[in-house]
Structure 1
Amino acid sequence: MKSRPGPASRRARASARARFGASVKSAAPGFTLLEIAIVIFIMGLMLTLVLPYMGGFREAALRSQARRLAGRATYMFDEATGHKLVLRLIFDLDNNRYLAAQLDPYAVKPVFAADNSLGGRPVTMPAAIRIRDVTIEGIGTVNRGTVATTFYPEGYVDATVVHLDDASGDVMTLEFSPLTGQVAIIAGDVMPSGMSR
């Protein structure tokens, strides 16, 4: 048979419960000054490490669009040469985009028709990046409207320089080599010596 605890024992237990409850209640609310200082220090350290790379993201986007345009131009040079076609890369500066067109040799009056193949779809630049100007030998520099670079079946392209810029003022220059069709991507605002604005 179990014996019941006496009144002194019950009081001791109640006192212990009261002390434990009081200590839990006093420690629960809020943060200490030291904890807040540590969190602020860690956030400041992370911002110090991340902020220098934020500009790199914009530059990476500009470089990515320059490579995309260069890839399109190289593809069109290969297509024109390989399939004996006359192709145009049309720059629509007012709408900040470029697209491909192909000369239809079977039309009564040969005209350039939009190329709706996978490689010819129009490409619109992101909002932060724009086609600033296009310089084509024999035409000059254009910064409004439309202008086209022609790719010929004999294996050459109009000498062309394209400047892309972003909201922070960074510029990428693309230079189309007329004999090889290769596109050089140069950081900065560069105009080859043989071409005039």
Structure 2
Amino acid sequence: MGKKGFTLIEVMIVLALLGALIGYGAPRLFKKQTNIKTAVRHFIVLSREIRNKARLNNSTYRLVVQMDDKEQKYWVERANGPQAIDIEAQEKEREEGKNKDKKEDAPPPLFQIDKSLTKKEQTLPEGLRFGQVETVNSKSAMTSGTAYIHFFPEGFVEAAAIQITDGNKLTWTLVFNPLTGQADIIEKAQSLKDIQR
């Protein structure tokens, strides 16, 4: 008869090739998804610990996020007692951080790294970076430099949103609720202004 079709061997070869491609590509795709989940969960746990420490120690804490081209770092700092957010002082501190010129006779900074929460500067997992950090007190979303999110002794948190991204299509947003201190996950890029509407 004149019918032509695929033999069983040809079908099995095609299926084997498809299986190999999926087996090779799927772990790479899911690894980024796993990395971002791990990073976001870490921030949720860290924010809960910071809020608890702020209340127990009657101190103001801040989560510091440094967004440089080379490295994406974060750590926790503490100041004794309740502290108001001083936007001008933060701008000055950012500028001094850029210049790296510290005067020897200058008083110690108000905020010091808290080694009980972050022993040293932490970095995001490989392939991830901070897309932007936006707080209710910032003029606009920050995509470079140093951003601060404050945690107060009364249990309040500065309303903020942190975007963690792989630089391509995968971006998750971590949103800090100012009253409950709870950090929530949104599995897409979202600005704080859009969330607060």
Q: TM-score, normalised by structure 1?
A: 0.70
- Which secondary structure does the structure 2 equivalent of 1:143 belong to? coil
Q: Aligned-pair distance for 1:90?
A: 0.5
| Partner residue in 1 for 2:134 | 135
Deviation sequence 1:36-94 (CA, Å, 0-9, x none) = 98996675253255234531221111111111122111110111112211111001111
Aligned partners of 2:76 and 2:117 also within 8 Å: no
RMSD value over aligned CA atoms?
Answer: 2.7
Q: 1:195/1:146 Cα in 2 relative to 1: closer, same or farther (>3 Å)?
A: farther
Larger Rg: 1
Q: Identity of counterpart residues, as a percentage? A: 23
Counterparts of residues 55-94 of structure 1 (less than 5 Å): 55-94=29-68
Aligned partners of 1:161 and 1:176 also within 8 Å: yes
- Which secondary structure does the structure 2 equivalent of 1:157 belong to? coil
Counterparts of residues 169-184 of structure 1 (less than 5 Å): 169-184=169-184
Question: Which residue of 44, 56, 61 corresponds with 2:17?
Answer: 44
Please, which runs of 5 or more residues in structure 1 have no aligned partner? 1-35
One-letter code of the match for 1:66? V
- Which secondary structure does the structure 2 equivalent of 1:73 belong to? helix
| Partner residue in 1 for 2:150 | 150
How many residue pairs match? The answer is 159
| Partner residue in 1 for 2:74 | 98
4+ residue runs of structure 1 moved beyond 4 angstroms? 36-43
Counterparts of residues 157-168 of structure 1 (less than 5 Å): 157-168=157-168
Q: TM-score, normalised by structure 2?
A: 0.70
- Which secondary structure does the structure 2 equivalent of 1:132 belong to? strand
| Partner residue in 2 for 1:189 | 189
Aligned partners of 1:134 and 1:141 also within 8 Å: yes
- Which secondary structure does the structure 1 equivalent of 2:178 belong to? coil
Larger RCO (CA under 8 A, 6+ residues apart): 2
